[in-house]
Structure 1
Amino acid sequence: MNIAIVDDNPVNLMVIEKILKSAGYDSFWKAASAVEMMQRLTEYADGGKVPVDLILMDMMMPEMDGIEACRRIQQDERLKDIPVIIVTALGDSNKLAEAMEAGAMDYVMKPVNKIELIARIRSALRLKYEKDWHKENDARIREELELARQVQGSVLSPPLKKDRLEISAAYYPSFELAGDFYAWYRIDEDRHGVIILDMMGHGISSSLVCMFISSVMQDTITRFVSPEFVVTELNRYMNQLNHKNPSVILQRFIC
């Protein structure tokens, strides 16, 4: 975990550095002003790197104070999730409230109590870790859903234009994945089979059932030309699926 210490007083920087080292936190860097900190954070972010995992920042500093720095951090999408702990000798409750509203997650009063500071650091880093984990997990799920959406879209029949026959369709699912499906298959020289499915529900479960049906559809519709036989065969497949997994809601096909 990388920690930034920001204070215009070298003595305060040294005190916090000593506390961090005594607690086993060796990965940190120091800045003598909020301006310097923002420059370094921006450089890291521009390079595609995670700038820092936690900021320990003084409230009162020249050029830019801790409150304004918190506001600017919150305005940058790349930085807004970095937790900020204000380390201050200012006991003004209004200023502390303003800092919290600007984006600081906690504060510690000077002179710094080692036990209190370490406890707040651990709490902030734990929350940061959990937030990062959820962000990575959400991103992975979105990628997998997008891939599944593309796969589902790839099994839909492309437009068909042949002699006096023209077939096309538009597909607009209400969610990333849906249980709707359409297809057309050549049965023989003079006939094509067209089918439209609207499965119960939306999302992953109905999409998987729909993909299962699409995998057997072409063989079924070309072997059993009669709609009655096609529906009977599809219901047989669905009964097999329901028997293997009782949690699957049984769907029925009718014509």
Structure 2
Amino acid sequence: MRNFVFILILSLWVFTGPAAQSSGSGVLGLDISDAFSQMDAALAENDMSPEDFYYMGRAVAANILTRYRLYTQKPAQTLYLNTICSAITVNSPQPNLYNGYHVMILDTPELNAFATPGGHIFITRGMLEAANSEDALAAVIAHEIAHIQLNHGATLIKEMKDIRDLSNVADRAAAIATREASLNERTMLFDNSVREMVNTLIQNGYAREQEFAADTYALRLLSLAGYVPSSLVDVLNSIQKTGTSGGINGTHPSPAQRITNVQRELPRYRTQDTRSFRASRFTVTK
């Protein structure tokens, strides 16, 4: 299995840290260069492994956490969300990820949720407050899991201009006088690629077709886990009632458009309504 993104991130930490001041262009420099070369080759061959996507996603998650603070006042709430996530993923077509699925709460009233290709799922406090049942929370999480399992983030990585330009950087490397200059340029491109993906998740959103596909797939995930698929409509109605223009409404199709798409697919599912059995634990952790 290729592990070049891990090598890359670890090497970048060392390369930009205190040790880099005395490392020169020795073994660490070669590791970084090899990491970029392997990244370029894997992208060209459409051959990034789950491990590669995890470490790329971790870099994206770290960047997100420079913009938002984690909500840590109620650890039981985070555990609750991760329990819901586990219930969905263990019954899904892709129960195993390189380092698993992890849900974190962002301390902001903004209505939003997003996920990285490596399985990091972020949900804002505002989004939690918009959900009126465990099944509604499950619907939010299922939508993000759908983005991961449908490889939407992976597709974005492969399409990003900065990543594609790594091959051009490699071609120019021979013309650059020192190895350090070449590595600095590649490091900058990787960093720009991570920021570009963060901007897509937080500010621009995926393509409309991908958001509709994630909603459709989320219905399947909810049904497989025993949650009520129509709960996705419930949470979308809650989002619509807030009337907010930022957050999820700025990065996704309108709730009304999404509801229309979901309602078109709902007749395919005949899941028994068991929401009442989950009401008490939702109340306790709300």
TM-score by structure 1 length?
0.25
Normalized per residue, which structure has more helix? 2
Larger CA Rg, structure 1 vs 2: 1
Normalized per residue, which structure has more strand? 1
TM-score by structure 2 length?
0.23
Which has the higher relative contact order, 1 or 2, with Cα contacts under 8 A spaced 6 or more apart?
2
